[in-house]
Amino acid sequence: MNLGESAAVGGFFALRTTPPKSGGAHRPLALLYAGEDGPLHARVDRVAARLGAPERRVGASVAHLGLAARLWSTALGPAALHGCFPSLDPAELSWDGALTSPDDLWWAGSDTRPATVAALRAAVQEAHLGPLHVALRRDGHISPRLLWGNAGSALAGALRELTRWAHAHGRPEVAERAAVLVAGLLDHPDLAGTVRGPRLRRASCCLYYRCPGGGLCGDCVFDHAPRTGLEARPPAP
């Protein structure tokens, strides 16, 4: 398994296997999931301040979307490229929320898993996203629907990047394998319906539009940013 090739797909796919040269305050994600919430609180504070978020849950949503994208990408990239992926055990995967990719995640493990839907679901959705959602709800009020919508959007985004890379490098089998895996992952009660249609447009909103000058994400459920506090009808899938 060549993690360097996966990193070439894009920054979100990069996974460090040695301590970052820049240093950092990496802590195993297992500690966060067990209740060591300080690093996550600090990350939400940092994102909310940078965006000028009018509500803490907006910062929490954007921070969550970024970490969910990293987790899906570092697993799906090698899975599609090589037929296996890093185990990403939360005790062996350390995170520093003050850093950006590739320095934010540091994997100290060596085990790999076969590229199956079940293995990917266990490694990312069950071992990381479920506990991460619980941790974010300890931080403040944020709906499970929004968090799973972010998770589905992050997974769809990883598929788009892999498809783009595969077409640019004459590797159609990579795009095909990624599409099959993502279709299987989305066929789960927590993720089903989070993205819709051939473009995998999300069915909920990450709330980024609420930030000053935020606008809409490329896969946003809205065609136009709604006025704050007003209901808006999502477009048809």
What are residue 176's phi and psi, to 5 degrees?
A: -65, -45
Helix-then-strand count for the chain, H and E? 8, 7
Q: Is residue 76 part of a domain?
A: yes
| Domain total in the chain | 1
Q: Is residue 115 part of a domain?
A: yes
Q: Which domain holds residue 154?
A: 3-195
DSSP-derived letter for residue 33 is H
- In this structure, the number of other CB atoms found within 10 A of the CB of residue 11 comes to 12
Q: Is residue 136 part of a domain?
A: yes
Q: Using alpha carbons, select from 226, 224, 222, 225 the residue that is nearest to residue 235.
A: 222
Tally of residues, the chain: 237
Q: Is residue 213 part of a domain?
A: no
Q: Is residue 126 part of a domain?
A: yes
For residues 237 and 222, what is the distance between their CA atoms, to the nearest angstrom?
11
Q: Which two tokens stand for residue 52?
A: 């000028």
Statement: the pTM of the whole predicted model exceeds 0.75: yes
Q: Is residue 98 part of a domain?
A: yes
Which amino acid would we find at residue 51? L
What pLDDT tens digit does each residue of the chain (237 aa) get?
Answer: 889 999 999 999 999 998 877 667 899 999 999 999 999 999 999 999 999 999 999 999 999 999 999 999 999 999 999 999 999 999 999 999 999 888 899 999 999 999 999 999 999 999 999 999 999 999 888 999 999 999 999 999 999 999 999 999 999 999 999 999 999 999 999 999 999 988 888 988 888 687 888 777 777 777 776 665 433 334 333
